Chains A and B, each alone.
Chain A
Amino acid sequence: DAGVTQSPTHLIKTRGQQVTLRCSPKSGHDTVSWYQQALGQGPQFIFQYYEEEERQRGNFPDRFSGHQFPNYSSELNVNALLLGDSALYLCASSGEINYGYTFGSGTRLTVV
């Protein structure tokens, strides 16, 4: 049973560029959440998608946007990259909140 799959695993971008990260949820899960994790910190909630719509959003600027497709997979887009956007970006899928989230291994984004 495949868990959550994220791509790419690592990415280096230049300040000002745009990036798209991809996530395939665990089979049977319909909700996808994205988190940003700075080194040594807990994950910070970016937004959550359910039924192809953004259901919740954290305290992140509009440069961060997303999409969910009919097959429940999701993309995270970040425009006008800043050095401070360098982090591990985690995708998590869930079906029922009390059963917890399943996380992918993340995409390590480095902005130079």
Chain B
Amino acid sequence: TQLLEQSPQFLSIQEGENLTVYCNSSSVFSSLQWYRQEPGEGPVLLVTVVTGGEVKKLKRLTFQFGDARKDSSLHITAAQTGDTGLYLCAVNFGNEKLTFGTGTRLTIIP
């Protein structure tokens, strides 16, 4: 079974603080995606990374793909209440289907 472990499972921080969440596996990924899901909605794609060591920035969000393509991190600078949600990493292990991680539920406190 190919598993994606995300940490932490829950994170609650004050508005304006920085944070990092992680996605790890023992398997090598061909590509990795990060999604954010808000209550009552489906996940929304934030970014796709495909190259080991790749760093992508989306405004205050910085995504990094591990050199060995087994892990990834998402860093948020100066968190805002609008960043609240469930953050999911997802990978295609080469068999077409997208496998999701366990998720990090982020709460930003005003």
Closest residue of chain B to A50, judged by CB? Answer: B96
- A 51-92 contacts with B by CB, 8 A: 55-56, 58, 90, 92
Q: Is the CB of A43 within 8 A of B43?
A: yes
Is there a chain B Cβ closer than 8 Å to A110's Cβ?
no
How many positions in chain B have a CB within 8 Å of any CB in the partner chain? 25
Q: Is the CB of A43 within 8 A of B100?
A: yes
Task: Tell me whether chain A's interface is mostly helix, strand or loop, or mixed.
Answer: mixed
Is there a chain B Cβ closer than 8 Å to A104's Cβ?
yes
Hey, which bits of chain B sit against chain A, CB under 8 A? 6, 31, 33, 35, 40-45, 48, 50, 88, 90, 92, 95-103, 105
7 of the cross-chain contacts (CB-CB < 8 Å) are A4-B42, A42-B101, A56-B95, A98-B48, A100-B35, A106-B40, A106-B42
User: Which 6 A-B pairs give the minimum distances between C-beta atoms?
Assistant: A103-B42, A100-B45, A42-B100, A42-B103, A56-B97, A43-B100
